[in-house]
Chain A
Amino acid sequence: MSEAPVAVRDLSKRYGSVVAVDHLNFDVQAGQVCGLLGPNGAGKTTALRMLVGLVHPTGGETQLFGRKVRPGSPELARVGTMIEHASFVPHLNGVDNLRLYWEAGGRPLAEADMDRALAVAGLGDAIKRRVKTYSQGMRQRLGIARSLLGNPELLVFDEPTNGLDPQEMRAVRGLIRRVADEGHTVLLSSHILSEIEQVCSHAVVMDRGKLVATGTVADLVASGASAYIEVDDPVRARAQLEAMAGVERVEDESPGLVVRLAGATRPELVAALVGAGISVQTVTSRHALEEAFLGLVGEETERHIGKGA
């Protein structure tokens, strides 16, 4: 049996005729910061809910630290979670919410390392206000603080920046990066590609409930390297580029061309075009993970995907 903090084995969930998760398999090893990436409706949240015992699988199983997960499993004591937006008991203040959450698990408050959690939340005096007066960003920060109580080995965050403004997103991502740097294993779901690219070392790509790809973010990015070029003569440029070594294919994307790279670099493309007497007006690198993602799950998914915030 695997001792990885997270092991997902042939996991399926069906709601009537709808298959939310379809024979999903992946591991997250200790120390990894793994992004669960997929468009809205890919089954990420359902998979994470099954991972922590909130939703019953219809097939397969999830394991935490080598043990099969059931509702209330003892292994959950080693996990901090924030599933979807952070929610609290609204009529209690931030401190009471953290305290009650911790004590409900049956362990003394002294083991919670509350001071560290409160420092992470960074809410100042607002921590003594009722949570119903908090902004969404404050709740998310308090949610991350709650997940850190007791210094768990594994953190599971589901769309942690959903509904936040850009400033709050940045703050929350910084927080996640910080706790990851402290050595926690993190599993983070998102449909925002730049978020995964900024925060994660590894990624699991899902689409329509199925596993599409898994590996390091660097490998996924490398598999999808490309460039966008605008020139004065697209027809000649296309022929020139298609003949080059290290170019996989060239596609029209009016008014320019998208060049899928298989070894060639962007400066080499420019040099070849200029050498052939073609004027190059624009050269940009495409968002690397976005390209990789679209290559993996297909262009039709593009409209569902956030291209970063």
Chain B
Amino acid sequence: MAEILQAMTALGAHGPARVAVGPLSITERVDLALASVAERRGRGADLVGAASPAGLPLPGPARYQAGTPFGTFWVAPGMWFAEAPFASHEWIADQLRAALGDAASITEQTDAWVIFDLVVVGEGVGLASLLERLCNVDFPAAPDGFATRTVMDHLGIYLIRQGAGAARIYGPRSSAQSLLHALEAAARAVW
């Protein structure tokens, strides 16, 4: 009898990982689809015109902008990463291609990354003491919605600030376990 195929997460499990260290919770996100959008040369105006009705924000450098259905962050001049709920946007690349036509080059990224949401609870407790051990981003000085590529434990990652005590990390999927270990080890040194 045929069994229903079940997708595995980046950590080889059937459900998202959840780790709690003191006031910090690390939650793997497996419910997001991801694609990159790269503007084609000389087609910037066409891309802006097509992106807005598609619900695709195109934020400026080092910024994340939420939208419906796409949340987008800037990764390079003329290039963005767009995330959307996996349930409705499993075919995110095809959906973006249909919306943007040939104004941009779209690349599916969903299974190339592992996503961790970091949240600390408590008054006056932020992520600064954790992130200053892991990367060279000045997290307390960065505004909410700040998005940047940086290095964490020798891994190139994207860090998005959602608040003083909340951040999202995109790391290479093939190094998911190493990244989670680095986050846990640093968290245990702090809390």
Partners in one complex: no
